[in-house]
Chains A and B, each alone.
Chain A
Amino acid sequence: MDVKNFDTRPVALEIKKIVVENESTNTYIFEYPLNGKPGQFVMLWIPGFDEKPFSIAYDDGKKFWLTICKVGPATEELFRFKVGDKVGIRGPFGTNYEVKKGEHIAVISGGYGAAPMYFVTREALAKGVKVEFLTGARNEDLLLYRERVKGLGGVNLHLSTDDGSVGHKGYITHVLEKLLKEKKIDKVFACGPELMMKAVGEIAEKADVECQMSVEKYMKCGFGVCGQCAVDDTGELVCKKGPVMPWKYVKKLGEFGKYHRDAQGKKHYF
């Protein structure tokens, strides 16, 4: 048996740049040939504190970005880090989104799910794929990546906010529903809160469009050993089988849209 390429020790990387996205979200830029693919994730170690999984927001083979929202103690600690400080990175891990030349895709995100969808969009455009970029948030301030996406040619941008401060007033899923009726879309990719993705899956299925989504579950190792991210009822691991999974698989998961588990493996219902 070949055990040559098994090193999951973290690589210490300096934070080269921090872009403030809004009051609770930063993008951290690292110069390192991570060679991640859209949809994949890394484990980011905040030395002396904790280590958490984050989707890759961009990777050009020389540098990569992580867009991180302050949601708990670990990310709060990270927000105290400055340019020049070092963190540990392992990865890339997991499955990724795939597109074929000539396709027309819709990528839909909620909140900070916009970041990995930006990476998908960049890769798709480079392959000659047409992209509908749909993103929604509670208000205009929380809409991420809007300006960056505007700067890309060949993308139609669709926005929504709960308060109507910009774009459609209401959920971004409503925009998707309408779009799938108006245009011939080959694939839908989704990243966002679980209940939103469930709605996306159902809408895409109804329109008979293939759909894939980034499933998020509590992770410890990120590389298929601890079993923390095993999903009911298949018992398969989100870090290996996912995070990008087809809706036709996700919809069969008994727990999807119902509950998630914590670090002790206990259930918490949505």
Chain B
Amino acid sequence: MTNLELEFCGVHFENPTVLASGVLGVTASSLKNVVRNGAGGVTTKSIWLTEHIGHNNPTMFGTSSYFMNAVGLSDGGLTKAQEETFPEYNEDKKAPIIANIVASKIDDFGELAEKITISDPDLIEINISCPNVEDKYGKPFACDRGDAASVTRAVRGKTRKPIIVKLSPNVNNIVEIAQACANEGADGFCLINTVGPGMAIDIDLRRPILTNKVGGISGPAIKPIAVKHIYDVYKATGLPIIGTGGVMTGEDAIELMMVGARLIGMGTMVYYRGVEGFGKVVKEMEAWCKKNGVKNIEDIIGVIP
């Protein structure tokens, strides 16, 4: 038997798989269903201070090699999270919950962090890297070392919960940005967010498929980008990482852990394997560990020199 349990920023996880933000995260019952299907933890959809209307459909589509989305971070706002999502999830909590927060102003991140802390999430994940709001709010904070540091500082000043910063791969030097966040008190990272943005055209209709024209790319194709960025950030900071990006199988998860991921975030996997995929990935990780004589999953974290 392989021990898949581990601690992440002092929080205990039964297995390393975590639902990534943005998928199946609209309601507490949906998050609970993800846990019932085998996930070691869940992340909420990005929570805004106030209700946020996303983009019109089409907001997403997939192919055999990649997936694209521009949902536009639709959300019922902090009130919905405080009054509904967290109380309902926490009443019979079976796995850790990560509150993902997003804002368009740096000060709002601080206020959100302070208020969501009262709802008692296990971790707070700061979404500074969603590319889909770029048109409206300028460059994502994740693309600027100073902005990323300011957001981290704003959140750090308002909560004692562990904070993890979700990083964008769409930058020249992810290590610089990660270090800037670490210097301001980030406890860990989640990476990578979607790649791009990209664009796809329906040639028969002669228009972009996504209403937002551009969207973040995820799915099998982006895994090598995730592996490279996780490798770099882990080497540079040594902080715990939720490795996310293109993980479809237990073997993919092992690959990301070998370069430093401590937890494994999965979102687009649900498109390819359904919500049942969480349990399947966990089984595949176990099988690989058994075959390779790995007793503790922790033993493979960051083994790649």
Chain A residues close to B by CB (< 8 Å): 1, 3-10, 12, 43, 45, 47-52, 86, 88, 90, 220-221, 223-228, 230-237, 240, 261, 263-267
Decide if A235 touches B64 in the complex (CB within 8 Å): no
Please state if A43 and B23 are interface contacts (CB–CB under 8 Å).
no
When the two chains form their complex, are residues A225 and B271 in contact, meaning their CB atoms are under 8 A apart? yes
Complex alpha-carbon distance, A7 and B205, angstroms? 17
Contact indicator A235/B30 (Cβ below 8 Å): yes
Given contacts A12-B204, A88-B202, A230-B24, contact A265 B75 (CB under 8 A): yes
What 0/1 pattern do residues 200 to 244 of B give for CB contact below 8 A with A? 101011010101000000001000000000000000000000000
Q: Can you give 23 contacting A-B residue pairs, CB < 8 Å?
A: A7-B63, A8-B60, A10-B58, A12-B202, A45-B57, A47-B202, A50-B211, A51-B57, A88-B58, A223-B62, A226-B26, A226-B60, A226-B71, A227-B24, A228-B26, A230-B24, A230-B33, A235-B31, A235-B34, A264-B51, A264-B74, A265-B45, A265-B80
Contact across chains for A224 and B275 when beta carbons are under 8 A apart: yes
Contact A47 B207 (CB under 8 A): yes
A-B contact count (CB 8 A): 143
- Is B209 a contact partner of A225 (Cβ separation < 8 A)? no
- B273 interface residue (CB < 8 Å to A): yes
Interface status of B262 (Cβ within 8 A of chain A): no
Q: Out of A220, A232, A240, which one reaches B71, CB within 8 Å?
A: A220
57-98 of chain B: CB within 8 A of chain A: 57-65, 71, 74-77, 80, 84
Of B31, B59, B71, B205, the residue contacting A12 (CB under 8 A) is B205
In the complex, what residues of A have CB within 8 A of residue B207's CB? 47-48
Chain B binding surface SS class: loop
For residue B270, CB closer than 8 A to chain A, the reply is yes
User: Majority SS of interface residues in chain A?
Assistant: loop
- State which residues 242-290 of B face A: CB under 8 Å: 248-249, 267-268, 270-275
Contacts of B1-39 to chain A: CB distance below 8 A: 23-34, 36
Residue from B36, B57, B211, B249 within 8 A of A43 (CB atoms): B57
**Complex contacts, A50 vs chain B, CB 8 Å:** 56-57, 211
The closest CB in chain B to the CB of A230 belongs to B30
Q: How far is the CB of A44 from chain B (nearest CB, A)?
A: 10
Closest 3 CB pairs of A and B: A235-B33, A12-B204, A51-B57
Q: What's the nearest-Cβ distance from chain A to residue B84, in Å?
A: 8
In the bound complex, do residue A47 and residue B205 qualify as a contact, i.e. CB atoms below 8 Å apart?
yes
- Minimal Cβ-Cβ distance residue in B for A255: B29
CA of A67 to CA of B75 in the docked complex: distance in angstroms? 31
Tell me the nearest residue of chain B to A267, going by C-beta: B84
Q: List residues of B (182-199) whose CB comes within 8 Å of A's CBs.
A: none
Residues of chain A within 8 A (CB-CB) of B74 are: 263-265
Does B160 belong to the interface (CB within 8 Å)?
A: no
CB within 8 A of B57: which of A220, A261, A267?
A220
B26, B71, B205: the one contacting A230 at CB < 8 Å is B26
Q: Is B304 an interface residue (CB 8 A)?
A: no
